[in-house]
Amino acid sequence: MSVYNPSTLERPDSIEELISILKDSQGSARIVAGNTTIYELARQGAMVDVDKLIDISGLGLAYVREIEDADNQRSLRLGATTTFSEIASNQLLSKPPYYSLGETASKITPPQVRNMGTIGGAVCSGIPFYDMPTTALALGAKMSIVSDTGSRLVDVSDFFVDYFVTSLSQSDFLTEIQFKYEPNSVTSFEKLGRMAADFAVVNVSTRIVFEKTTRFVENARIALGAVSNTPVLAIEAAEYLKGREFSPETILKAASLAAEAVSEPMPSVHASSHYKKKVIPVVVRDALLSARDRVRSGGS
Amino acid sequence: MATTELISVKQTGQDVVGQSLSRIDTRLKVTGKANYTRDLKLPRMLFGRIKRSPFPHARILKIDASKAKSMEGVKAVITGEDFPPATSEDSPPLAVNEVLYHNQAVVAVAATNPMIAEEAINNIEVEYEELPFVTDPEIAMSEQNVRSIIKHPGESTEGHNIGKHLRLRRGMEIDKAFSISDHVIEGTYTTVMETHFQMEPLTFLCQADPDGGLTIWCTNSGAHRAQYDLARYLGIDPHLIRAKVPFLGGWFGSKDESHIAAICAMLALKSKRGVKLELSREETMTASGVRHPTKIYIKDGVTKDGKIIARKIRAIYNGGAYGSQANGNVKAALMASVSVYNIPNAHYDIIRVYTNLVTGAMKRAPMSYQMNWAIESQTEKVAVELKIDPVKFRLMNLLHNGEKNLIGETIDSVTNEQCLTEVVGAFERGTGNQHSTSAWRTGRGIAIGAKMGYGGAFQASVRLRENGRVEVLTELVENGGGILSGVAQIVAQEFSIPLSDVTMMPLIFGNDTATTGFTQGASGSRQLVDVGEAVLMACADVKGKVAKVASARFGFEIADVDVRQGRVVSKTNRGKSIPLSQLFEKAPIRGYRTVAYFVEDTEFVGYGTLFKQFGELDPNTGQATTERAVAYYQSVAQAVELSVNVETGRMKVHRIVAGMDAGRAINPAIVREQITGSVIMGLSACLGEELIISDGRITNANLADYKVITSLDAPSIEPIIVELPHRDGPFGAKGVGEASILPTAPAVRSAVYNAIGVWIDNLPITPENIVDALERKEREAEKLN
């Protein structure tokens, strides 16, 4: 219940200015995007060494764009300060390969958090029971990061490191998240909370890519959140689906394999490990079934 | 949700009572103009902060505040030693010698801004010697426990750590009654610690006054309560204390914490400045007052045709560290259990136990809520085991008017049967909801209950103006329920004037002990009934004054005078009337360019005092020692339809039909809103509210981890008002703010059993608890195979 009283609030106008502020502050600054998490961190005493807040809302990073590069490879770019509400309502995201992004955003509660919270904030907080990190992992996102030493793309698999910890260094800044367009794919997101407006007890995000000419699965990614210190991929389950038909039977088998991927789910005040273990296959199954519904409705 | 057809306030005076008029405080609140204690400021105001105990039980060895005191901007530092020694089991404002629960207040400071106050708190060093602590009341009260004994001055304890022990003994020796029963069925039911989740956390604003006293604005349930409580805590003349209560941002029993107000008051007295003390949500959740956790054992003896002939209850209330007002209110637990079922042989022990936890306090239908959960859960189980329809089983065992209840009162205006049958009727007329997915199972359940009404002392005054306008000056705490409107409607009805011709002074000025007579405050849903009655007496008093003047000057018979629509009228000859203004003299101001009115020799101000006292219960048998032990009993019944997901334990509650006896609904829309609000609060507690305690500490005191339901989880709620006017209340009204919380959780439990065949005996009924219960059932089934 401590009062948080940072001494400075910076409002950079450009990414260059931001990078220079980050470099100068040597870890004593914290970036504020939607401001839905900072206050709670401060209240819990996690901000005692931070005396400067950097408001990045003026950097023009709220956007949803689809880009086609020189090799005709399409990809989606979500600016770091794009809010969940913008993601939930954007028409570009109604395409099956991106569908789970809007679905995830719309299941973040309550509406006030959807209106303020941003995708950049959601992933950079490194909070494993948030919803967006799971979907970013399922979609194989690339994190576009700049720092005083230049810019780089980091694969999502290398981004989430530990509970509340990402691979970002003190001088790094996430500008956007990129999602490759997978033409023959469907995606889905499922979340189980205790109540309608709640953090996830378990969340699951999927992407199923089909072979071009058959109904068989070319590859699958199934990500689970709120079960470990970072979101995790259910690799065996995904491997199992590869080359198989995407049927209720294979889905059930994959769901039980996914449950085995997490031997001891991380307990929380919201649910015990035992309960999580019990419901993981249910949520995975429902996520896969909902992906399958999208195939059947001509989605891919 | 309840549908409310609101009628414009310009409605005529005819039959205002019984109309769903729109509330008189609505416009102020929806435009953000209503002032709450948090909105108020004083010039050069200081900010208070509290340093709290990091241990659930410890001896205070040393408090070193020298560094804090020397800080610039720090204007007062106080400890428990600054207050007079405690004389009761009530929480001391700041701990003296020992801390008895985690986060208990130890030192307080006032400084020129909140940051300095915070820093000052951090600069205070308190040295503790940790002591063993106990959080389980059954361990705390056992003779083997010598680790943590909690003793308070002035308390009458029996045995270890027992704050209060109430007994009910009726009929034959209970074991004998069990021996002649065809079935003996036992159950144990528990409830957990809850917060009130009122929107406005506790807040106080206080200034030291030039006469050595003080003025305090506070989030209390009554200004006079705060005044007299503070006088005791501070050791000063109560009449040097001016207590004010503005609008409350939700109450539900959460805001009777005068020991916290005393901290603010002492900081103001020491600093001689205005001081604002705002508790954070976390402080409000961990260190004000909570719903008592309980464990309740019930054993029933039943005949084979379904009559309960013996009931034994042992109810353990985890009282936390102090008595607060809860020791005195254990009676409410007993009263919830004596006027619903007619049970010839009863043996109840209700025990409130001290432990090293935050004090158990009052929350909506306090004490009776837990008892009703246990009794209705048990009653349902007995019905199911006897294979008797649960509604029929209840009907067979209900108490009726004219019969003696379990404490020997002959009951009157009770609607147990009417409530139940009306709810069942409405429920069955509704369409059923079914879920198509195989994992969802639908079930239906009912539960009933009853709440007692309180008495007390209440004073009110009304002033009658020459144009017929009536001003009501009394203490009426608007805690969100619409009480100002309810009482205004009573007054409008009494004078046959439009609601807009009634001015409720608490709406304008808030409540202020300096300007109104005494009232007992808002608790127990008593304002409408008791202040309403006092206001009616004041109306009659002022009419008597009018009659005297009208008789002396215009030849009316005193007994024949009524005042209606701004006129003095003859009761027997409606044609005979004069305008009220004829009884007034005109005062010349600026040579009659401005005219004021006054009455010669008197003022048309009427006073009413209601003093309703009831007899004590016999300490050995719990039997009433006088004809009446409570103001009234109020019946409730609810029916629930829900679906449970057997894979995840998630529940969807589709529909709740909720019936409540309102005596007479003064404003039916407000009554329906109170029913709806109570059901939502009851459902929220049922589905997941719990302050989790680990190592003597509450671990989820924030809004993300302590889950309440939102409108997304809320079912369709159909409120039903049952009316059987009570002999005492104004127009027969009963208080409507609490009783409807009683049956929700047990009705949900009944429906869960109906859906998936498992009993959940421990609140809350979370998805995890459902999944665990289903697993246990599976394991038991495997064992049987």
Q: Which residues of A127-216 form beta strands (DSSP E)?
A: 142-147, 150-155, 160-162, 165-166, 173-180, 185-192, 202-210
Residues of B in contact with A3 (CB under 8 A): 114-115, 118
B256 close to B220: Cβ distance less than 8 angstroms: yes
Please compute, for residue A272, the number of CA atoms within 13 A of its CA located in the half-sphere on the CB side.
Answer: 9
Q: Which DSSP helix (H) or strand (E) runs through B296?
A: strand B294-302
d(CA B674, CA B20): 13
**pLDDT for B39 beyond 90:** yes
| E strand intervals along B453-566 | 456-464, 470-474, 502-504, 511-512, 561-564
Q: Decide if pLDDT at B255 tops 90.
A: no
Question: Picking from A35-39, B201-205, B272-276, which range would have the lowest pLDDT averaged per residue?
Answer: A35-39
**Contacts of residue A271 in chain B, CB cutoff 8 Å?**
767-768
Q: List, in sequence order, every beta strand (DSSP E) within B81-120.
A: 98-99, 105-111
Residue labelled with tokens 């959940």: B760
In a mutational test of the B interface, the residue from A2, A3, A37, A272 whose CB has the highest number of chain B CBs within 10 Å is: A3
| A47 pLDDT more than 90 | no
Task: Check whether B663 has a pLDDT greater than 70.
Answer: yes
Least confident of A37-51, A121-135, B641-655: A37-51
Q: What pLDDT was estimated at residue B729? A: 85
Q: Report the alpha-carbon distance of residue A130 to residue B247 in Å, rounded.
A: 38
pLDDT tens digits, one per residue of A129-143: 999 999 999 999 999
Q: How confident is the model at residue B615 (pLDDT cuts 50, 70, 90)?
A: confident
Distance from CA of A279 to the nearest CA of B (A): 6
Angle (CA) A67-A69-A74 rounded to 5° is 50
**Distance linking the first and last C-alpha atoms of chain A:** 50
Distance from CA of B103 to the nearest CA of A (A): 11
- Alpha helices by DSSP H, A48-118: 84-89, 99-106, 111-116
Neighbours of B199 (CB within 10 A): 11
CA distance B481 to B37: 17
Q: Is the Cβ of B702 closer than 8 Å to some Cβ of chain A?
A: yes
How far is residue B107 CA from its own chain's centroid?
30
Arithmetic mean of pLDDT, A18-29: 92
Is residue A1's pLDDT more than 50? no
- Which of A3, A196, A271 is closest, CB to CB, to B118? A3
Smallest CA–CA separation between B710 and chain A, in Å? 7
Q: Which of A2, A5, A196 sits opposite B710 (nearest CB)?
A: A196
pLDDT > 70 in chain B, percent = 97
Tokens representing residue B495 in the block: 């004078």
Across the range B5-27, mean pLDDT stands at 72
Q: How far is A233 from chain B (nearest CA, A)?
A: 22
CA separation for the pair A78, A66 (Å, rounded):
9
SS3 for A192-227, per residue?
Answer: ECCCCCCCCCEEEEEEEEECCCCCEEEEEEEEEECC
Closest CA to B370 of B778, B772, B741, B768: B741
Nearest to B401 by CA among B419, B386, B385, B383: B419
| Residue in B250, B255, B188 with CA at minimum distance from that of residue B681 | B250
Q: How many CB atoms lie within 10 A of CB B728?
A: 21
A275 close to B (CB below 8 A): yes
Instruction: Give the range among A251-260, B139-148, B331-340, B469-478 with minimum mean pLDDT.
Output: B139-148
Please give the backbone phi and psi of residue B281, each rounded to the nearest 5 degrees, phi first. -60, -40
Locate B710 and state its tokens: 């939102």
The per-residue DSSP string of B726-757 comes to -SSSGGG----SSGGGTTHHHHHHHHHHHHHS
CB contact under 8 A, A1 and B282: yes
Read off the amino acid at residue B456: G
Q: Is it the case that residue B720 has pLDDT exceeding 80?
A: yes
pLDDT above 80 for A38: yes
The mean per-residue pLDDT over the stretch B359-376 comes to 97
Mean pLDDT of B129-148: 88
Q: For chain A, say whether B650 makes contact (Cβ under 8 Å).
A: yes
Q: Which residues contact B320 (CB under 8 A, 6 or more apart)?
A: B101, B290, B292, B354, B355, B356, B357, B358, B359, B360
Residue B296's contacts (CB-CB under 8 Å, 6 or more residues apart) are B188, B189, B190, B313, B314, B315, B316, B370, B371, B373, B374
Encode burial over B200-231: b for 16+ CB neighbours within 10 A, e otherwise: bbbbbbbbbeeeebbbbbbbbbbbbbbbbbbb
Q: Is B616 exposed, middle or buried (0-12, 13-18, 19+ CB in 10 A)?
A: exposed
What's the pLDDT band for A213 if we cut at 50, 70, 90?
Answer: confident
**In this complex, do B707 and A5 lie within 8 Å of one another by their Cβ atoms?**
no
- Characterize the bridge pairing of strands B651-661 and B716-722: parallel
Nearest to A194 among B115, B647, B766 (CB): B766
- pLDDT of amino acid B785: 76
Q: Which residues from A are below 8 Å from B48, CB to CB?
A: none
Burial of B603 by CB count in 10 Å (0-12 exposed, 13-18 middle, 19+ buried)?
A: exposed
Distance CA B771, CA B773 (A): 5
Average pLDDT of chain B to the nearest whole number: 94
The pLDDT, as a whole number, for residue B325 is 85
Lowest mean pLDDT among A16-30, B632-646, B657-671: A16-30
To which residue do tokens 């409580």 refer?
B229
- Respond yes or no on whether the N-terminal peptide bond of residue A281 is cis (omega within 30° of 0): no
Amino acid identity, position B443: G
Three-state SS for B572-587 is: CCCCCEEEHHHHCEEE
- Identify whether the C-beta of residue B353 lies closer than 8 Å to the C-beta of residue B316: yes
- Res B433: pLDDT: 60
Q: What is the predicted pLDDT for the residue at A37?
A: 87
B281/chain A closest Cα distance in angstroms: 9
Q: Which of A2, A5, A194 is opposite residue B688, by nearest beta carbon?
A: A194
| pLDDT at A276 exceeding the cut of 70 | yes
What's the mean pLDDT in A219-235? 97
3-class SS of residue B692: coil
Count A/B contacts: CB-CB distance under 8 Å: 63
What count of Cα atoms within 13 Å lies in the side-chain half-sphere of residue A80?
24
Predicted pLDDT of residue A104:
98
For the stretch A105-136, what's the b/e string if a residue is b when 16 or more beta carbons lie within 10 angstroms of its beta carbon?
Answer: bbbbbeeebbeebbbbbbbbbbbbbbbbbbbb
Supply A261's token pair: 């991927």
- Kindly list the residues from chain A whose CB atom is less than 8 angstroms away from the CB atom of residue B688: 194-195
Residues B121, B109: Cα–Cα separation, whole Å:
7
Establish if A51 touches chain B: CB-CB under 8 angstroms. Answer: no
Query: How many beta carbons lie within 10 A of that of residue B299, not counting itself?
Result: 20
* Residue from A216, A193, A217 nearest A206 by CA: A217
Q: What local confidence, expressed as pLDDT, does residue B435 receive?
A: 54
**Mean pLDDT of the region B277-303:** 97
**Closest-CA residue to B229 (of B51, B83, B45, B53):** B83
pLDDT at B629 over 60: yes
Q: Supply the pLDDT for residue B257.
A: 83
Closest residue, chain A, to B770 (C-alpha): A275
**A45 interfaces chain B, CB cutoff of 8 Å:** no
Whether residues B114 and A3 touch (CB distance < 8 A) is answered with: yes
Q: CB B767 to CB A194 under 8 A?
A: yes
Q: What distance in Å separates residue B768's CA from the closest CA in chain A?
A: 6
Q: What is the pLDDT of residues A52-82, one digit of tens each?
A: 999 999 999 999 999 998 888 999 999 999 9
**Touching check for A2 and chain B: CB below 8 Å?**
yes
- B596 in contact with A, Cβ within 8 Å: no
Specify the range with the lowest mean pLDDT, choosing from A227-236, B80-89, B534-543.
B80-89
Q: Does the distance separating the beta carbons of B648 and A282 come in below 8 Å? A: yes
Query: Has residue B305 got a pLDDT over 60?
Result: yes
**What part of A 234-253 touches B (C-beta under 8 Å)?**
none
By CA distance, what is B772's nearest residue in A? A275
Q: Do A110 and B707 touch (CB under 8 A)?
A: no
Q: Which B residues, 420 through 479, put their C-beta within 8 Å of a C-beta on chain A?
A: 439
Which of A4, A130, A269, A272 is the best mutation test for B, with the most CBs of B within 10 A?
A269
Q: Higher pLDDT residue, A49 or B381? A: B381
B118, B647, B699: residue with CB nearest A2: B118
ipTM of the complex: 0.93
Q: Hey, of B650, B709, B766, which one would you mutate to test binding to chain A, going by the most A CBs within 10 A of its CB?
A: B650
Q: What is the pLDDT of residue A45?
A: 79
pLDDT tens track for A134-176: 999 999 999 999 999 999 999 999 999 999 999 999 999 999 9
